[in-house]
Amino acid sequence: MFAAAINKRSFGIAVTLLVLLGVLPFFLDRFYIYLTALILVTGLLATSLNMVLGYGGMYQFHHAVFYGVGAYACALTLIKTDLPPYAGFIVGPVVAAAVGVIMGLICVRLSKLYFGMLQIALGSLVWAIVYRWYSFTGGDDGLHGVPVPDLISSINGAYYFTLIITALCMVLIYLIINSPFGRIFQAIRDNPERSETIGVNVKRHQLVGLTIAAFFGGVAGSLFVTVEGSVFPDLMFWTLSLEILIMCLLGGWFTFLGPMVGAGIVVSLQTFVGMYTEYWTLIMGIILILLIFFLPEGVLGFFLERFSSREQAMSAEK
Amino acid sequence: MLNVASVNKSFDGFMAVNDTDLTVEKGQVVAVIGPNGAGKTTLFKLITGHLHPDQGQILFKGEDISALPPYEVCRKGISLSFQVVNIFSRLTVFENVQAAVLSHLKKTYKLFSPARNQAVRETWEILDNVGLTKKADGVSGALSHGDQKVLEIAIALGNAPELLILDEPTAGMSPEETAVAINLIHRLTAELGLTILFCEHDMELVFSIAHSIMVMQQGKSLIEGDPETVKNNPLVQEAYLGEST
């Protein structure tokens, strides 16, 4: 019904959006290109979080760890090894996924809130190591002037690289969510007990889901290196995890593009309100409170609901 | 096929299931009856691996399954339909059943092929069988209670079980819904020839389809036998059936 009906239309929307984003550099100046790239990267990160949060029902409270680990692994590969430059963009996600497997093996034993709390603890451990290990990670200074490959080091190069990889990852995540694995993942979200009863190894599916999400988080991290040319420990600090969690809720965590929309809103707010006042989090807080009261399904969730109820009314009239 | 031998289970000192025996032969329909709190649901959860017995053995096709987790028990061929509706409430009716079929076909780790092309025929077959075809596209959480209980059974059928366990299939149903459910269970036994273990308060249903009945009281199995023997047993008349027979 809805899923089948929206497919053709949403495909059209996706293509239009992609074309629009593709021609953007011809119209906008550097700053806005940079901002759009940042939104895409953050949006991919939020989407990868939402894969386990909204579709898997897992309380992934510290997803930024995988973003940071991906970014650092990518940057360190570019700086310290003689591997071909683009290898960094494979190493980043793979290392993030590996960290995902290790953290997952420890965390999926617990459920719901305990899962999230343990993840925050383990993630903070990773952050502390990065924050202190000056000789390797640059400590709290981070690493700057990462030698990004020439082709993608210009602002437009970085933008197109980010756009292509983000689009590719979004397609992959969409496929995974709508695959048998994704279906079972949603079943686990709705009812873990029943999932076990129909023969699903819940813990193992959660581990696989977490690993995939960590991988895409790592991809986002590597893209951040491309856009920013530097990495710092804040990338894996828990406040960022909270921010992307808010993006998911804000955009609508039961919708596919919601987190991307949420990222757009938060990053723009951060940038534009941040220009006038350093208290932009105050504005953010007010928006969040309003959101909880008026749009509990998120911005995109709200519009989709309106959309589908209007459609139902129309088909009922026929 | 299923053999439960002197199984014990206690919660904080309370013996929920106490030295219980139960046998289910292939092709049989076996009912467990007993007053509320007799330990029927606990017994079923011991069989399906949601709980593990303190003592005793549970053999399925000759294999001890008492220590297995629920998903392993399910893969051995035992499906449970819950007493309290336990479905995937955000998924559609179709997707609910499809999830079980996907699991049965071992397709749950397929990452990139669209789910809507998978296990479709098998899922429709089950939905046709239980009469939920017209409601297949609706979100399951919005169904009426009676339909949700039918969906419960449909999900359990999705695993193509050798032994289907129904925990009070008509609990909380209106008389009309009960009639539909009873009709469905009749068809499952008659047409599909399923082996069924169930518990139920509706005595009419119990005595009309059960080949064998086990009476439970205070965690103990009081008697196990064919309906006539059970009906005429003085202990049972006193303990459970009362004056109604």
> Which residues of B have a CB under 8 Å from any CB of A?
48, 50, 69-71, 74-75, 79-80, 82, 86-92, 95-96, 98-100, 102-104, 107-116, 118-119, 137, 155-156, 158-159
DSSP helix/strand/coil, A231: strand
Task: Give CA A312 to chain center in angstroms.
Answer: 32
Asked whether residue A1 carries a pLDDT value surpassing 70, the answer given is no
**Residue A53 Cα, gap to closest chain B Cα (Å):** 15
Q: Cα–Cα distances in Å, from B41 out to A97, A137, A196, B211, B230?
A: 42, 57, 17, 20, 21
Q: Cα–Cα distances in Å, from B202 out to B181, B189, B243?
A: 12, 17, 16
Lowest mean pLDDT among A21-35, A39-53, B230-244: B230-244
**Residue B182 Cα, gap to closest chain A Cα (Å):** 23
| Domain limits for position B94 | 2-244
DSSP helix/strand/coil, A143: strand
Query: The tokens of B171 are what?
Result: 């609990």
Question: Each residue of B175-207: pLDDT tens digit?
Answer: 888 888 888 888 888 888 789 999 988 888 888
Neighbours of A64 (CB within 10 A): 27
From the list B131, B122, B175, the residue with the least C-alpha distance to B150 is B131
Query: The tokens of A250 are what?
Result: 């804000």
Question: Each residue of B81-120: pLDDT tens digit?
Answer: 998 899 999 999 999 999 999 999 998 888 888 888 889 9
Name the residue with tokens 């006539």: B228
Report chain B residues whose CB lies below 8 A from the CB of A190: 87-91
Q: A82 and chain B: CB distance < 8 Å anywhere?
A: no
Q: Tally the domains of chain B.
A: 1
Asked whether residue A2 carries a pLDDT value surpassing 80, the answer given is no
Cα–Cα distance for residue pair A44/B90, rounded to 1 Å: 25
All structural domains of chain A with their residue ranges: 2-317
Residue A3 pLDDT grade (very low, low, confident, very high; cuts 50, 70, 90): very low
Task: Please tell us whether the domain made up of A2-317 is placed in CATH 1.10.10.
Answer: no
Q: What is the pTM of this model?
A: 0.89
Report chain A residues whose CB lies below 8 A from the CB of B88: 186-187, 190-191, 194-195
Residues of chain B with confidence (pLDDT) below 70:
239-245
Looking at the partner chain, which of B79, B107, B159 has a beta carbon nearest the beta carbon of A180?
B107
Inter-chain CB proximity A176 and B89 less than 8 Å: no
- What is the domain-level CATH number for residue B197? 3.40.50.300
Mutate one of B41, B52, B65, B71 to test the A interface: name it (highest A CB count within 10 A): B71
Q: A109 and chain B: CB distance < 8 Å anywhere?
A: no
Count of CA atoms in the C-beta half-sphere (13 A) of A12: 5
Residue A318 pLDDT grade (very low, low, confident, very high; cuts 50, 70, 90): very low
Inter-chain CB proximity B79 and A193 less than 8 Å: no
Looking at residue A5, its pLDDT comes to 44
Inter-chain CB proximity A198 and B100 less than 8 Å: yes
Inter-chain CB proximity A197 and B102 less than 8 Å: no
Inter-chain CB proximity A176 and B112 less than 8 Å: yes
Inter-chain CB proximity B74 and A178 less than 8 Å: no
